Structure 1
């Protein structure tokens, strides 16, 4: 099939009341048509996945099982377990790989842990180190008292540092990677209380855009000359605003960096924001229905937007307008149980 793209789809399985069976392989062709290639491997709630930068190895969290595990690609669309599961934290919901293949980082929504796992030259997990405990800077001013830390995602920075979000403490944290020791705190960026920073996307200008789960906004943070990141702006993800029951999900950028896409669960929308020419900010410009229910994650690739609708058990494709960035569709749909994350197989 011309321009065929293989996509790994993570899922929620029966242990989290989901309909998935594990990691599924999907195929997308040059016309946006989607096909299920079949179950790549059975696993319990592999809700988030990461790809080794150079090897055919996939890393998956087991969100309910509180583990992280490596899987090795065998054949075109199959995976096999690669080593044993490694312990993680409560509700481990995200994993990301170091661009140099030295480690992966898992973040845990349930208890706020940020955990670094060392990798060997084959991509196998060989060690585990938890980062320092989280401290909530808003506690002193919060009428509700202490709030639980909820680490939600990580982003690898070009200078070797690692950035993580804490949805519970409204923080973006920056860590130094220390070989043999793990992650050490560098500094933190405080977001508005109650915003709930969730996922991040780094623009080629160096700006990091953070979407917020609770306030359904996009925060812009940029690095100062001294190496610290500062919050520059916070804007609504949608020009029409957040509605009751809404929750921000994924944020992704178009390859040329002109547009940002934010999924909104609840009202089930994909919001489009235009990135300023210098990459220093975003402005909401439009939105479309997500084509299903509860858009947990989406992927922007080669002029197409693929949305994982967890609630309607499907993945749908949209064609992206080159000028406006607006999604057109859905063009195609494929059924798959409780999809939670979409990852190009490389």
Structure 2
């Protein structure tokens, strides 16, 4: 077997039986030079580690335990193994996303079930220390649902290039921007209210500083631009070329390696939409919808000229070659069986 350290390693978040899945814990894939992947096995047993994040300098992986309401840290051991680092830390209901500060000072967890956004400070070994809950969300659209308050549903965190943190709230249709204060956690800076009912889910920052957001419910993309430090909504458009079909829900948005294209996964229709980044990074224009290569594309990842798509319900990761000119996935070059994959996160290269 090829050593994963030779070419690269990708961790897979998963659902285990407590979340209706078939995995045993965090999985490991060997990434080969030709873009193909190889299933290595389970790196460590864990309960529904549905999203993962990797410490920027240490061989430490963080995982939510979505059904258990917790966050865990693991230390890398051997070629692709992981072992627990410290005790699990409590989180909110249905913790579904974790992200790491680029300087390794803290991690954030977003909780879909109760809307909590939590910050855990890290020690020198990457272990979690203090936990600080952020201020709860207030629905800016509350007047539209009098007498029927909507549930806040935090869904993702993005570490911004200027050191701040942006989080999505799927239930309140907001983006919230935070400052990190050591010993205190996340302190609110400002928020951006998106149109009612769209459900912002995931987000990515373009090299020009703008943030691209995909909405789960309306299957749209939004662009917010920082103006003197305050983000403002400047663009709203469809996330797919063919439009939203009944039963569709958008999942992940990511950028191509050079920032010219963005890619959105849509569950239901099971497609990957290629969008061109135009007008200086202020607009996203759908170019083509491509079958994703499986059922329920939960997460996807661009590495070089390849696109890897994790399919939660068909237990596979499909890999496509990307056309360098059009950005479109042209052909499937690999299809590897992987139990209930929900996230694809490249591992930190081991020290040589």
- Of 20, 41, 63 in structure 2, the residue corresponding to residue 38 of structure 1 is 41
Which residue is 2:101 aligned to?
98
Q: Whole-Å Cα distance in 1 between the matches of residues 7 and 278 of structure 2?
A: 32
- Structure 2 stretches lacking a partner, 5+ long: none
- Of 206, 211, 215 in structure 2, the residue corresponding to residue 208 of structure 1 is 211
> Deviations along 1:309-335, whole A, 9 cap, x unmatched?
001011110011100000123211111
- How does 1:237-252 map onto structure 2 within 5 Å? 237-252=239-254
Tell me by how many angstroms 1:220 deviates: 0.3
Whether 2:313 is the aligned partner of 1:311: answer: yes
- How does 1:316-335 map onto structure 2 within 5 Å? 316-335=318-337
- Structure 2 length as normaliser, TM-score? 0.96
Q: Number of paired residues? A: 345
Whether 2:16 is the aligned partner of 1:13: answer: yes
Tell me by how many angstroms 1:144 deviates: 7.1
- Of 268, 271, 274 in structure 2, the residue corresponding to residue 269 of structure 1 is 271
Which residue is 1:58 aligned to?
61
Contact map agreement 2:235 2:282 (CA 8 A) in 1? no
Q: Give secondary structure in 2 for the equivalent of 1:215.
A: coil
Contact map agreement 1:11 1:341 (CA 8 A) in 2? yes
> Deviations along 1:39-76, whole A, 9 cap, x unmatched?
10010000000000110000000000100011000111
Q: Whole-Å Cα distance in 1 between the matches of residues 331 and 29 of structure 2?
A: 19
Which residue is 2:202 aligned to?
199
Which residue is 1:253 aligned to?
255
- Structure 1 length as normaliser, TM-score? 0.98
- How does 1:66-105 map onto structure 2 within 5 Å? 66-105=69-108
Which residue is 1:233 aligned to?
235
Contact map agreement 2:99 2:107 (CA 8 A) in 1? yes
Q: Whole-Å Cα distance in 2 between the matches of residues 240 and 332 of structure 1?
A: 26
- Of 291, 295, 298 in structure 2, the residue corresponding to residue 296 of structure 1 is 298
Contact map agreement 1:309 1:315 (CA 8 A) in 2? yes
> Deviations along 1:201-239, whole A, 9 cap, x unmatched?
1000001000000000110000002x1100111110112
> Deviations along 1:237-290, whole A, 9 cap, x unmatched?
112110000000000001200000000000000000000152122111111000
Contact map agreement 1:258 1:277 (CA 8 A) in 2? no
Q: Whole-Å Cα distance in 2 between the matches of residues 144 and 209 of structure 1?
A: 33
> Deviations along 1:53-111, whole A, 9 cap, x unmatched?
11000000000010001100011111000000000000000000000000000000000
* TM superposition outliers: structure 1 runs of 4+ over 4 Å: none
Whether 2:16 is the aligned partner of 1:22: answer: no
- Structure 1 stretches lacking a partner, 5+ long: none
